[in-house]
């Protein structure tokens, strides 16, 4: 099923195309002139536009140009009762997929629509590699559902609240929503509610006039006024003071505010996307966040899972960041070793995707070969502390324990550490463990650790 917009000033033609296309299984919206069609196009998303050339207020060719300026990837089919080679050439040059002259045969219009929609699907597929949605990278089921939700909410004016731990990509989601919205050509203004001191926050948000307070030597526009027509992204909204929560609520309700020291109101049209790493419902219950503001912000809620809950994305993200920083840093690092990837897969990533990106960037910067090795990875110390605490806390209880299993796990872990320190060379690892070469090789086979051996350096 596709979403199709039909623009034609003839009622009979609109009804004919609507019935025809709905029978084909599509969702169809109609407009009687070019202006209404473009208004619908700005506020909603369509896979295909079918437009008559001769229309009042805004003709089809002007509509085509405006649509292509706003969303170049949109597929457009032009129709007309007045055949003109000049119009056909103009339409095709402006980006129309095809051009039909009324009256057209039923078979002809069906064929053109099917081909146009096939092209539209192909263009969407070519826009980004599999697993990449704007700057978001994932192929986990949880994130793919979020990608679909972003597509749905992007075309609306609805306020969105994004929750999730630090480093999960909340700002990237906000930017993706803005980029597929009708506001994409307007400002996207980020305001970090926890980074700006409360004493100057009101001035930053809403501006001030000259002389409003000591140091106000000129008029200053606030970030809300700068974002007029676009999107305001309020990061860490849970840290906003009660005083400013009241001010923000008024802006949302009245769509206007008064700069500090002024007597005149400023009207603004902004979409608000908020983000938090706090549980705002609990903040409301505890009286730290206004309930009415919470419901104004939380019209659509998107929750981003931590990286430890979508570990299948770690190889994809690691390779994505490796290619990114290899280009940016001018390095020829092409891949991640099996053991290095295994280390990442077994790490909990308290800093989420942002931490993984930092780890890969540092590894690319320090790596002297064309492959990332385990020794290039710098992980949080808490991982080592957790291993040590587990070993120290290992005690025999009344229930007993599986000694063979515990000793095997400890032995395997120490062998892995030795292989890491020796860059996968068995001889050096055996020396570190005070074992014979043959004994260590047998243990490597026992624990299925051959992928961590650097066979190029073995005799």
pLDDT at residue 187 tops 90: yes
Q: Which of 142, 143, 161, 163 has the alpha carbon at shortest distance from 153?
A: 161
pLDDT at residue 384 tops 50: no
347 and 215 in a common domain: no
pTM beyond 0.85, yes or no: no
Grouping H, G, I as helix, E, B as strand and the rest as coil, residue 135 is: coil
183 and 207 in a common domain: yes
The continuous run of DSSP H or E covering 276 comes out as strand 271-276
Higher pLDDT, 387 or 9: 9
Arithmetic mean of pLDDT, 46-64: 88
256 and 138 in a common domain: yes
146 and 269 in a common domain: yes
Q: What does the alpha-carbon distance between residue 312 and residue 431 come to, in Å, rounded to a whole number?
A: 35
pLDDT at residue 279 tops 60: yes
Domain final residue, candidates 277, 303, 329: 303
Give residue 362's pLDDT. 92
Most confident of 166-180, 184-198, 365-379: 166-180
55 and 12 in a common domain: yes
Q: Beta partners for 256?
A: 267
Over the stretch 239-256, which tens digit does the pLDDT of each residue have? 999 999 999 999 999 999
Q: What does the alpha-carbon distance between residue 459 and residue 457 come to, in Å, rounded to a whole number?
A: 7
Give residue 386's pLDDT. 44
Domain final residue, candidates 71, 92, 127: 127
115 and 17 in a common domain: yes
Question: Percentage of the chain with pLDDT > 90?
Answer: 34
Q: Which of 297, 305, 273 has the alpha carbon at shortest distance from 136?
A: 305
pLDDT at residue 126 tops 60: no
Which phi and psi (to 5°) does residue 146 adopt? -65, -40
Q: What does the alpha-carbon distance between residue 161 and residue 120 come to, in Å, rounded to a whole number?
A: 31
Assess contact for 389 and 421: CB atoms under 8 A: no
Assess contact for 136 and 169: CB atoms under 8 A: yes
Cis peptide before 103 (omega within 30 of 0): yes
All residues at 6 or more sequence positions from 396 whose CB lies less than 8 Å from its CB, including other chains: none
412 and 332 in a common domain: yes
Confidence band, pLDDT 50/70/90 cuts, at residue 459 = low
The continuous run of DSSP H or E covering 336 comes out as strand 335-336
192 and 99 in a common domain: no
Over the stretch 303-313, which tens digit does the pLDDT of each residue have? 999 999 999 99
Assess contact for 300 and 173: CB atoms under 8 A: no
Q: What is the mean pLDDT of the chain?
A: 84
What is the DSSP secondary structure assignment for residue 231, as one 8-state letter?
E
401 and 275 in a common domain: no
Confidence band, pLDDT 50/70/90 cuts, at residue 339 = confident
Give residue 172's pLDDT. 95
Over the stretch 406-452, which tens digit does the pLDDT of each residue have? 788 888 888 888 887 887 888 888 999 998 888 888 888 888 887 77
Grouping H, G, I as helix, E, B as strand and the rest as coil, residue 454 is: coil
What is the CATH number for 179? 3.40.50.300
What is the CATH number for 49? 3.40.50.2300
Q: For 398-424, b where at least 16 C-beta lie within 10 A, e where not — what string?
A: eeeeeeeeeeeeeebeebbebbbebbb
What is the CATH number for 360? 1.10.8.60
Higher pLDDT, 330 or 126: 330
Arithmetic mean of pLDDT, 56-68: 87
192 and 153 in a common domain: yes
* Cα three-residue angle 374-376-382, rounded to 5 degrees: 80
Total domain count, the chain: 3
329 and 287 in a common domain: no
115 and 23 in a common domain: yes
All residues at 6 or more sequence positions from 20 whose CB lies less than 8 Å from its CB, including other chains: 106, 109, 110
The residue range of the domain holding 151 is: 133-303
Domain final residue, candidates 303, 319, 345: 303
């Amino acid at each position: 099923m596709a979403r199709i917009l039909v623009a034609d000033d003839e009622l009979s033609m609109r009804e004919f195309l609507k019935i025809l296309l709905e029978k084909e299984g599509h969702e169809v919206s109609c407009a009687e002139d070019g202006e209404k069609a473009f208004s619908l196009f700005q506020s909603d998303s369509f896979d295909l536009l079918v437009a008559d050339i001769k229309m009042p207020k805004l003709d089809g060719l002007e509509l085509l140009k405006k649509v292509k300026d706003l969303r170049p990837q949109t597929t457009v089919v032009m129709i007309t009762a007045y055949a003109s080679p000049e119009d056909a050439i103009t339409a095709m040059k402006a980006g129309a997929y095809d051009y039909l002259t009324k009256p057209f045969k039923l078979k002809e219009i069906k064929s053109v629509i099917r081909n146009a929609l096939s092209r539209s699907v192909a263009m969407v597929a070519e826009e980004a590699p599999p697993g990449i949605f704007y700057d978001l990278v994932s192929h986990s089921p949880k994130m793919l559902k979020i990608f679909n939700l972003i597509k749905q909410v992007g075309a609306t004016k609805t306020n969105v609240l994004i929750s999730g731990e630090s480093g999960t990509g909340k700002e990237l989601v906000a930017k993706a929503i803005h980029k597929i919205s009708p506001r994409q050509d307007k400002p996207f203004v980020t305001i970090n509610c926890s980074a700006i001191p409360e004493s100057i926050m009101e001035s930053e948000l809403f501006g001030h006039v000259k002389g409003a307070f000591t140091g106000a030597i000129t008029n200053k526009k606030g970030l809300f006024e700068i974002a007029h027509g676009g999107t305001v992204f309020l990061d860490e909204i849970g840290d906003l003071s009660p005083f400013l929560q009241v001010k923000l609520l008024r802006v949302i309700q009245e769509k206007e505010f008064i700069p500090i020291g002024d007597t005149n109101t400023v009207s603004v049209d902004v979409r608000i996307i908020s983000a938090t790493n706090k549980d705002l419902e609990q903040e409301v219950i505890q009286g730290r966040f206004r309930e009415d503001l919470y419901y104004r912000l939380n019209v659509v809620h998107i929750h981003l899972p931590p990286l430890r809950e979508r570990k299948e994305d770690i190889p994809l993200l690691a390779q994505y960041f490796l290619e990114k920083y290899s280009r940016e840093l001018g390095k020829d690092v092409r891949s991640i070793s099996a053991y290095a990837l295994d280390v990442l897969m077994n790490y909990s990533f308290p800093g989420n995707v942002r931490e993984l990106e930092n780890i890969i960037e540092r590894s690319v910067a320090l790596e002297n070969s064309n492959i990332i090795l385990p020794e290039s990875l710098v992980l949080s110390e808490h991982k080592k502390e957790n291993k040590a605490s587990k070993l120290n806390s290992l005690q025999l209880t009344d229930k007993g324990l599986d000694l063979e299993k515990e000793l095997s796990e400890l032995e395997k872990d120490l062998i892995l550490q030795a292989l890491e320190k020796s860059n996968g060379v068995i001889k050096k690892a055996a020396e570190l463990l005070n074992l014979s070469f043959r004994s260590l090789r047998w243990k490597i086979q026992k624990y299925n650790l051959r992928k961590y051996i650097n066979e190029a350096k073995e005799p």
